[in-house]
Amino acid sequence: MKLFYILLFCSILACYTQENSSPKPASAEEGIQDIDRYVQLFGSRNGLFSLHALEYIEYFGESAIPALVRGLSYEDPQVRCFSAIALSKFPDKRAIEPLLKLLNDTGDLDLQVLSDDGFSIHSSYGDPLKYAVRDNALRTLQIITGLSFGDWTANEASNQALVQRWKDWWAIEKATWVPIKSRPFSNALPDAAQYPIPDYARYLQGITICIDPGHGGDSHQIGFKRGPTGNRESESNLRLSRYLRDFLVQCGAHVLMTRDSDKFVALEDRTTIANQYHADLFLSIHHNWAFRYTATATTIWYHATPDYNAASMDFARYVFDAFTSQIAMSELDKAMGLKSDYLIYDQAGFAVLRNLDPQIPGILCELAYFSNLSTELKMRDSQFLKQEAYGVFLGIAKYMYSGIPSWKLLFPEGIVKSTNPKFKIQVFDGLEARKEWGSQWAKIFAKHLIVELDQEPIPFSYEERTGILQFTPTKPLRPGRHSLKLWIMNLNKTHNWPKVHWFEVE
């Protein structure tokens, strides 16, 4: 009996360990914690990185405020300076006192740039910008309060009097002051106008989509997957994926992210997340590279052959079409941009597609070329990445709009007791629930229907008006486990997701 309890305890412990060690989708906390990384990037003397981080941190909205307030007390004056600038976008009471302290901060700003010949580094502005921390702290206070007690002068006594006026104001208003939320005075179109959500995006409701931002955790590798100005592919992949997630969530989709920070995720873990959390769709987001530095085309990769997962081909085609309608390309692939991953790894393909459950449509998107200088510079612009994400989003939405065929086994139910049963299946075109004219008829290409029993095609009868499919096995079924699979294509030439039904014969 003692041995029994020991074995039982070990079994429970093993199950618990396996459950807690299996990879999980990125949590909301992971993305919030990643904000600190951008604040730390403020300290980069390479303006392409520090200013890029400053521009992007607005994406996080008010969630960035705690990290930015902490940035005001960093030892590095450049982090203090850029944190003060960033806080001008987020009027918040928590920032006032730390900003007041910076009014006496004499820290400078000194960004560096590579010389034209590439052999030396020098200051971007000729000389460091004196008193940059103090100046930007004052500007931010003026912006978020709507007040002004004057500006800096060459007279130190006058400057100290200015600081004291701000402190006196805060001593009076601290208890009751409430920041005024106001929209920036701008001629830029709001996101709703730039990226309108089409009505057909409603069919994303309830769909689980796994987004895999390619690479990650590679900033320490000098030259690894970087463009001509040093922009990292993995960072662009992550930012685009976040924008894509936001579009999808806005439409009611459930999104799994394999990472929401700059961290390494093993290839097998990326697909394990999609498999274990029952994703309906999987897409891995990448940007491309080529020795020909003017390359601009887009490629959507599928696994193995078109017949391996026909739904993946539909998914890929819709994403390619929508993406290239949003992003101008001076070059387009003459074969419509869809490629087998066997072209890269013969008979193996990409691990994230090879290890994906075959019942999940999955693609790998190589969107723009970061090896192309003009494209890489655009990839530093949040609006360009958002436009890319919008193109991919429209592709996913149009794919779901096309309707996903499906089927349901009506008979036999449960364990099959006959070795020669008659099967009855209801076929759906994926459009019937929309109640359009003619929705009572299954709009299926009957000549393209395929039924596989134990991976072997078998003959069947199909009633087009009712969508009822029937067949009897051509030979008696042996006792044990058997598989049933259908290949269906609706009038929009969209295939069913390749589920397999398993049943037992006594």
**271-318 residue pLDDT tens:** 999 999 999 999 999 999 888 888 888 999 999 999 999 999 999 999
**Residue 97's Cα: distance from chain center in Å?**
36
Q: What is the rounded distance in angstroms from the CA atom of residue 24 to the CA atom of residue 270?
A: 9
**Residue-level pLDDT at 115:** 87
pLDDT of 15 strictly over 60? no
* pLDDT, average across residues 482-492: 97
Domain boundaries, the chain: 28-173, 199-401, 406-505
Structure tokens at 373: 């200088």
Looking at domain 199-401, which of 3.20.20.140, 3.40.630.40, 3.40.50.300, 3.30.420.40 is its CATH number?
3.40.630.40
Burial of 38 (0-12, 13-18, 19+ CB in 10 A): buried
Mean pLDDT of 170-187: 89
237-249: average pLDDT: 98
- In angstroms, rounded to a whole number, what is the distance separating the alpha carbons of residues 299 and 337? 5
Q: Report the DSSP beta bridge partners of residue 461.
A: 470
Q: DSSP secondary structure string, 132-171?
A: HHHHHHHHHHHHHH--------S-HHHHHHHHHHHHHHHH
Kindly state the percentage of the chain with pLDDT values over 90: 79
Q: What is the pLDDT of residue 12?
A: 46
- Range with top average pLDDT, 11-25, 30-44, 220-234: 30-44
**How do beta strands 208-213 and 281-288 pair?**
parallel
pLDDT at 452: 97
Q: How confident is the model at residue 27 (pLDDT cuts 50, 70, 90)?
A: very high
Q: Compute φ and ψ for 451, nearest 5 degrees.
A: -115, 125
CA 172 to the chain's CA centroid = 46
For 122, phi and psi rounded to 5 degrees? -145, 170
The pLDDT, as a whole number, for residue 292 is 86
Q: Which CATH class is domain 406-505?
A: mainly beta
Query: Strands 468-471, 423-428: parallel, antiparallel or unpaired by DSSP?
Result: antiparallel
**Confidence tier at 16 by pLDDT (50, 70, 90):** very low
Residue 224 binned pLDDT confidence (cut-offs 50, 70, 90):
confident
CA 238 to chain CA centroid, nearest Å:
6
Span 384-418, pLDDT tens digits: 999 999 999 999 999 999 999 999 999 999 999 99
- State pTM to two decimals: 0.92
Hey, which CATH number is domain 28-173, 3.90.320, 1.25.40, 1.10.3470, 3.40.50?
A: 1.25.40
- Whether the per-residue pLDDT at 146 is higher than 80: the answer is yes
More confident residue, 228 or 143: 143
Mean pLDDT of the 154-172 span: 97
With 70 as the cut, is the pLDDT of residue 1 above it?
Answer: no
Could you tell me which residue, 329 or 93, shows the higher pLDDT? 93
| pLDDT > 90? residue 331 | no
What does the pLDDT read at residue 4?
45
Instruction: Read off the pLDDT of residues 65-80 as tens digits, 9 standing for 90 and up.
Output: 999 999 999 999 999 9
Over the stretch 122-134, which tens digit does the pLDDT of each residue have?
A: 888 878 899 999 9
HSE (side-chain half, CA atoms, 13 Å) at 69 = 15
Q: What is the mean pLDDT of residues 117-121?
A: 90
The token pair at 299 is: 């490629």
Tens of pLDDT, residues 423-432:
999 999 999 9
Please state, rounded to an integer, the average pLDDT across all residues of the chain: 93
Please state the rounded mean pLDDT for residues 197-211.
98
